Structure 1
Amino acid sequence: MNIRNLLCTGTALTSCFAPAAVFAQSLADAGANSSPVVDDTYSRGAGDIVVTARRRAENVQDVPIAISVVSGATLDEQGAYNISRLAQLAPTLQFYSQNPRNTFINIRGIGAPFGLTNDGFEQGVGIYIDDVYYNRIASATLDFVDVERIEVLRGPQGTLYGKNTTAGAINITTRAPSFDFEGKAEVSLGNLNFKQGKASVSGPLTDKIAARISVTGTSRRGTLYDTAKSAWIQSQDNIGVRGSLLWKATPNFNLTVSGDYNLQDPSCCAFAYGGYGPTQRAANRQYPALISYFPGYQVPSTNPYERVTDADAALAARNEHGGLSARAIWEISDANTLTSITAWRYWDWGPANDRDYTGLPIYTKVNNPTKQSQYTQEFRFSHQGAGYDVVLGLFGFHQKIHTSGVQETGTAASRWLLAPPAGGVCTPTSTALACNPAVLNNVVAINDIRLNNTSLAAFAKLNVEVTDRFTVSPGVRVNYDKKMGLYDSVVTGTASNGTRQIVSAVPGSPSFNDPWTAAQRGIQASQFFEPNFSAWNLSYDLNLRYAVTNDVNVYATYAKSFKTGGINLNGVPADANGAPILAAGTIKPEKVDHFELGFKSQFWDRRATLNVSGFWTEIKDFQANVTNGQFGTIRGYLANAEKIRTRGLEADFTIRPSERFIAHASGAYTDAKYTRFVDAPCPPELSGGTTATGSQVVGPAGVAGSLSPANCDISGQVLPGISKWAASWGAEGNVPSTLFGEEGHFYFGYDASYRSRWSSNPSPSIYTWVNGYSIQNFRAGFRTGRVDTFAWVRNAFDKDYIDLLLAGTGGNTGLIAAQVGDPRTWGGTIRLTF
């Protein structure tokens, strides 16, 4: 069995899920994406996997932090061609995506708040490809292009990776240009019209210049049928191209220049009907009554697993990324190396959404197309001394974002959003505004949203060998951030006299007292503010490692980290005079205290690996996504929860008794809660009624017409998106044989994942708990050193499961929308290596 079978992953620390293979890589290459030299022979005791997670080449079993490592070959063989599928291999990595822009990645329960993305804050899981930071989380949904390996670093990584890694980092290394001609091509076909092709070729152009070019393309029919368009949606339509040139100018200096282009353009994204959960709103304003106001309308299915919806608005999810980078490595001497990484990236997001989650023309547009450009520069100097080594660095980042959004209501908006007449029946003589479609029809918000974001940092990481078995590794990072934003939303609507007027929340403004304008103002009003934020922050950590034996290490870590403060760029609540509450325009930085203990071990001549760790992380001023309780509010805003805590245990075990068989099992227990959040938004069952004041007693949950709290104390309740229990496991066996005169192996592989139930709402709701589930995958084929052909089936038992639940259209009508996971898929792959 060869390197293509390598899978190294774990929940506490990395272990190798394949026959041992040696990664020989020099310290000088630690900053480069050069391909390691691999010994393909099976050799007990040669289980070294070299990673560069700490910006230096190290055996992963010696790194005193929690890491999972997955080879590019394993990603190919198990069909994990993006981070969504990678999450099935790493139990504490969770991935959620309403669409590419509204995507969340969590590690150990933290990383990104649930809700629509806000441009003015940072994610807590940093994504790096060849040492280049990808600021936009939408890049996580793109297909991997010619990946060498992926390192998932769990826990705060602020010293070396920066302020955006309070939960962890995903460090992706692509295959580098080779001075030996090589190539790979593969084609996969499957049900749902699945088609995927990949190709890569590399070789020398001169004796000092090598090149590599890689392409990938994926297409698949959608899994959700839209009856309004008579078409399948939630499709896949991805292409990616990556090219790089490596110039070895001298034996001590090399330069790699890379460029990439990636595009998703699927028919996407919508939700199915997920259910109804009664709220405290008046019964005639909840989902069953609202639907009854539209005779002839009927939801296409009340069973989300029938995968049917009726999204009547236009849908689009065009997600385009690209960029250029230059990495220079100068080995000044045997002990000193200087690395420079310069990069420019852009992002172009072109969406169209149906945000009312019905087939009615309530909101006909809720679209926020966005353009972004970013520039990064990093310098690193590494020095290897007698009994110590050190990495020093400088980092600079500048980003510009411009969003030109639009929100528009339709002919069903008045009936759905405004109070009904007595008895709920509109007659030809009714004067109720809800009975007049013209009142809210074509209320349009034109949004101009801008951000200038600058970040500068200096950092250092030191490793000191106190003895030949005890290593102390302190680190520090000083960071400066400055954010300048603009939010300008101009809302216009038709006044009762038939003229178009600006819908203003400021008393005394033109047409302020017009009844139609007043009704429109209750749904959305114009708003303008220019938030800004700047601050210095300090991160530091201390790692201790003790080698009990050559194959057993114990470690302890303390990290003091932060996530920079943010600015709200989705609008903020207004005061009694209609002015934006400027204090809500900014949010405080998160302040993180992290503790971790663990050990990693290999035994039975390194045939077996067992790694275990425990962690405890507390975050003050946790950045959460909230709403202000106003029914018409579509987009939430950011606020600080006083404190959260996540803690848990992670373990993984791997056994490879021979080159014929390997098995692995990983598990994680994670307990993630709000320690203190006393003014959180309330869940749907405690919202929608008249707000209780003074000594009034809040009504029972889910009872129509009862009094609602202004906010809720959710201290002690769970964070969204995290399962208390998660696991992955699998095995592969092979038998030597000959097929068509070619010597190779027949093999059979199995892998699976499990997660327990989890909350899909920022404030836990009885209506949005997602049931736990397990997914089983199988593959079988014949492999030689040149050709690999196999059949595969994913979600083999066609398990029905939910990816995401959310409260639709304002949150208190009782409508629950569901995003359903993939059904069983199957197909075959042929891969040629030359």
Structure 2
Amino acid sequence: MIGLLLGTAFSALAATPAFAQAPQSGAQVGLEDIVVTARKVAENLQDVPVAITAFTAESLLEQGATKVSDVARTTPSLTVRESPSNPTAISITLRGQVQTDILATLDPSVGTYVDDVYWSRAYGLNQDLLDLSSVQVLKGPQGTLFGRNTTGGAMLFETNNPNFDGISGSVAATYGRFNERVGTVIVNIPLIDDKLAIRGAVQRNLRDGWMKDRVTGDKYNDRDNWAARGKILYQATDNLSFLFSGEYFKQDVSAAGRQMLYLVPSGLTAPSAADNAALQSAGAAAAATLTAAGLPVPAGINPFSYGAIGSSGALQAGGNLRSYYTSLGASQTELSQGIAGNPNFPSASPRTYVKTQTYNGTINLDTFFGAIKFVGGWRRVSTTSRLDLDGSAAPIHTTTGDQTLTQYSGELQITGQAFDDAIDFAGGAFYFHESGFDTSSSVTLPSFNPNTLLFSGQLDNDSIGTYAQATYHFDDRLSFTGGLRYSVDDKGLTTRNQNRSRITGIAVCQIPTASIGNDCALRVRDEFDGVSYLASLDYKLSDDVLVYLKTSKGFRSGGQNLRANSVATAISFRPEVAYAHEAGIKSELFDRRLRVNLAGYYSNVEDIQRTTLIGLPNGTTQTVLTNAGKIRIWGLEGEFLMQLPAGFQIGGTGAYTNAKYKDYQELPSRTNLTGSRLTERVEGVPEWTWSLTGSYEHAFNFGRLNLRTDYSWNSAINLQPYTPFLGDPQGVTIDPNTGKTIAQNIIDATTSPKQGVLSARASLTLMDDKLELAVFGRNLTNNRKVVQALYVGGIGYVSGVHREPVTYGGTITYRFGN
């Protein structure tokens, strides 16, 4: 099927999933233009020598896009996944570039901009789409035209502004499976003719949970969201305008119920003989703590290794985690079949809360040469999460997270034309400040381990940058574009990482050089700077065919290790630098009835930032952010859109991504393993993705019928890199429960298999398009495969999340005004 799709897509070339409206009798023949602002000015998508996938408001509505992740379904080379460590956050992968951990000290490889304001952190991005005018996905390094540097690309979300065309708006109500209830109200009101207008949008999104806890009977994966936005437009003069907006989002849900997918038979990595004495000493110390607290001490207690089940029900020496799990009521059948085989029954009590507040102000002055714009923004994100990470019936591993991050930014943009329109130029300056905290805790095997790991980081970051880009038109067909940017980031972090006893309340600093007297505070400050550039040449073979070549350099700032628990891991990581080369063609053929866009790229990324696991002498592991080395990524991508007779349209996308490490050496501080890791799996990057879309529109005397269906497919995705020394050092130990090696079991459990998702929507508009009746279906084939997984090597399990089941429902929308 892959070969058939790609053969069809690439032989036809490929195109944009932003469907234009099918022409009615007497209407202009051909696909409608799609306007983008990738170069800070409004341009036709087909005239921009940049790989862009664009969505209009109409196309988002027709494909039933309700969340940020829905945009990825028909965008080549883009995948969006919910973070396994924080459900309020999303992990974005674009052209093989991915942010491998969700932390306030790690910048994203793909930048997110909403109404020209940079949203710095992944926390709080997993939210509803509301009153959008367009979404644009820009691929490749960005920086010479944007406030922040990124190595993978940028996603631009533009919301609808107030207008002076009279009172208008809409009211919509949705009801669907699992008692889904969504209400949306949008209103636009001109207050003073051609001077002052306001626009407001509010949405309430509710749904019952669809996953049942087999222990408590509670349901998870519910939905309880509020979203609202208000805008004020003041047109002071013909060439001067002021635009202000405020946005609010709140979510308070049980989040995704996790399930245990695999359990290593021996639990923790077995300690060496040399470590045995130290482990026994630690066990004796733990026993002394329990005795001092007046609590019973099970014989043979060892808080750092897995033991058998004694008469007290506590872990004893000689057993393993699988037997511990079984002792708490889960049979072997439930472990291998009831959980992995039935995705409807987790056994966790997760909870997630997020609140975001965003305020923007934009001043725009039209001048004789172009425009001068200033964009200011303030944003605060507050999140709280509690996760049962193992997803089993046993109390094995629980984590919590609390983050409150505040940012404000200011950006000056100057765009225009010079020398009789021979040169188009854009330039600007950007300032960004961020402060706040990111804290988390981890409790493992609480029945015999009385300690809680606490990680706390206080941030204080500043960034400045200047950029300029210009295009010189040699004639009507040939143009050259060059851009340059310089950035400086000043980042400060204060960590207070501790190991605290839940029995005595006594805390010990995780980093020995820190002092409990000052709450284990360890302060570090670093400065990172870098230069980015872009150079491209484009040529119009005809009025409807554009070819281009581009080379660019991107920069992702360095940072610090918030979860450091030793001097060796309390190190900063360097900036990531990407060198990318691209060739592409954009075309419209057959009187603009066929739109075909293709791009090929080759990238080398140096000092790529990766999350890795360090083996500790006691057999546990610790997460650390570091520079992995170098990765090479190349790929092909295409999109097509074809207008057929009688109101039919078909479209499709396809992408191939080949990512391979070229240099990946072990950390000097890592124990029990040395040498190259070039064969380690690249995380979050499917090799193949494709989508097909079809639509039909027909006007009757009484109304207009619109039908649309979308099918998107991706090959297997490595959800987490597997490091062989964890659990099965040589990759040869057989798990008697599966008959396969432990290594292969972990690899299988942390791989999202190839899969497709089918969705559809049908609508009928009446009363001159004022009333719309629509029905929809999502995931119509009820694909329940794993889409998220987490391997915790220190304990020896893999847990994951399955795709949501099929959902369906109906929407009634009434539109008023123009």
Asked if Structure 1 and Structure 2 have the same fold, meaning a TM-score greater than 0.5 normalized by the shorter chain, the answer is yes
**Native 8 Å contact 1:269 1:317 kept in 2:** no
What's the counterpart of residue 307 of structure 1?
Answer: 344
TM-score w.r.t. length of structure 1: 0.82
Query: Aligned equivalents of 1:752 and 1:277: distance in 2?
Result: 36
Cα distance 1:77–1:404, how it changes in 2: closer, same or farther (>3 A)? same
Shift, 1:833, TM fit: 1.8
| 1:646 equivalenced with 2:633 (yes/no) | yes
Secondary structure of the 1:187 match is: strand
**Native 8 Å contact 2:621 2:794 kept in 1:** no
Counterparts in 2 of 1:706-745, with a 5 A limit?
A: 709-710=672-673, 713-738=676-701, 743-745=702-704
**Native 8 Å contact 1:13 1:68 kept in 2:** no
784, 787, 809: which one aligns with 1:803: 787
375, 395, 410: which one aligns with 1:377: 410
232, 235, 245: which one aligns with 2:222: 235
What's the counterpart of residue 503 of structure 1?
Answer: 508
What's the counterpart of residue 241 of structure 2?
Answer: 254
State the AA in 1 paired with 2:427.
Answer: L
| 1:194 equivalenced with 2:180 (yes/no) | yes
Query: Aligned equivalents of 1:486 and 1:532: distance in 2?
Result: 9
What's the counterpart of residue 385 of structure 2?
Answer: 351
**Native 8 Å contact 1:226 1:310 kept in 2:** yes
| 1:146 equivalenced with 2:134 (yes/no) | no
- In structure 1, the gaps of 5 or more residues are 1-8, 23-38, 415-439, 512-525, 575-579, 692-708
**Native 8 Å contact 2:251 2:354 kept in 1:** yes
| 1:393 equivalenced with 2:393 (yes/no) | no
What's the counterpart of residue 15 of structure 1?
Answer: 16
Query: Aligned equivalents of 2:626 and 2:546: distance in 1?
Result: 41
**Native 8 Å contact 2:204 2:225 kept in 1:** yes
Counterparts in 2 of 1:435-834, with a 5 A limit?
A: 440-441=449-450, 443-493=451-501, 500-504=505-509, 528-572=521-565, 574=566, 580-581=567-568, 584-630=570-616, 636-658=623-645, 660-679=647-666, 709-710=672-673, 713-738=676-701, 743-763=702-722, 766-767=747-748, 768-784=750-766, 785-807=769-791, 810-811=792-793, 813-834=795-816
Shift, 1:192, TM fit: 1.1
Secondary structure of the 2:747 match is: coil
Cα distance 1:476–1:42, how it changes in 2: closer, same or farther (>3 A)? farther
State the AA in 2 paired with 1:589.
Answer: P
Segment of structure 1 superposing worse, 758-767 or 397-406: 758-767
TM-score w.r.t. length of structure 2: 0.83
Cα distance 1:209–1:714, how it changes in 2: closer, same or farther (>3 A)? same
State how many pairs are aligned.
Answer: 723
Segment of structure 1 superposing worse, 607-616 or 216-225: 216-225
**Native 8 Å contact 1:163 1:561 kept in 2:** no
Query: Aligned equivalents of 1:651 and 1:460: distance in 2?
Result: 29
Structure with larger RCO (C-alpha < 8 A, sep 6+): 2
Query: Aligned equivalents of 1:478 and 1:262: distance in 2?
Result: 34
What's the counterpart of residue 64 of structure 2?
Answer: 79
Cα distance 1:601–1:681, how it changes in 2: closer, same or farther (>3 A)? farther
Query: Aligned equivalents of 1:568 and 1:40: distance in 2?
Result: 62
Shift, 1:383, TM fit: 2.2
Deviations along 1:692-736, one digit per CA (max 9) or x if unpaired, are xxxxxxxxxxxxxxxxx5256331444111111100111111333
CA-atom RMSD in angstroms = 2.9
Shift, 1:814, TM fit: 4.0
Query: Aligned equivalents of 2:30 and 2:707: distance in 1?
Result: 25
Q: Taking every aligned residue pair, what percent have the same amino acid on both sides?
A: 27
Query: Aligned equivalents of 1:54 and 1:93: distance in 2?
Result: 21
Deviations along 1:286-336, one digit per CA (max 9) or x if unpaired, are 54234245467775723354321112xx53211111121110101122x23
**Native 8 Å contact 2:73 2:691 kept in 1:** yes
Secondary structure of the 1:127 match is: strand
Deviations along 1:528-554, one digit per CA (max 9) or x if unpaired, are 522221022111111211000000000
Query: Aligned equivalents of 2:25 and 2:457: distance in 1?
Result: 53
What's the counterpart of residue 105 of structure 1?
Answer: 92
Cα distance 1:161–1:111, how it changes in 2: closer, same or farther (>3 A)? farther
What's the counterpart of residue 361 of structure 2?
Answer: 326
Shift, 1:370, TM fit: 1.1
Segment of structure 1 superposing worse, 624-633 or 207-216: 624-633
State the AA in 1 paired with 2:416.
Answer: H
Secondary structure of the 2:61 match is: helix
Query: Aligned equivalents of 2:25 and 2:127: distance in 1?
Result: 31
Query: Aligned equivalents of 1:621 and 1:388: distance in 2?
Result: 36
Segment of structure 1 superposing worse, 269-278 or 226-235: 269-278
Cα distance 1:147–1:464, how it changes in 2: closer, same or farther (>3 A)? same
- In structure 2, the gaps of 5 or more residues are 1-8, 271-305, 307-317, 724-745
**Native 8 Å contact 2:18 2:56 kept in 1:** no
**Native 8 Å contact 1:12 1:611 kept in 2:** yes
**Native 8 Å contact 1:17 1:662 kept in 2:** no
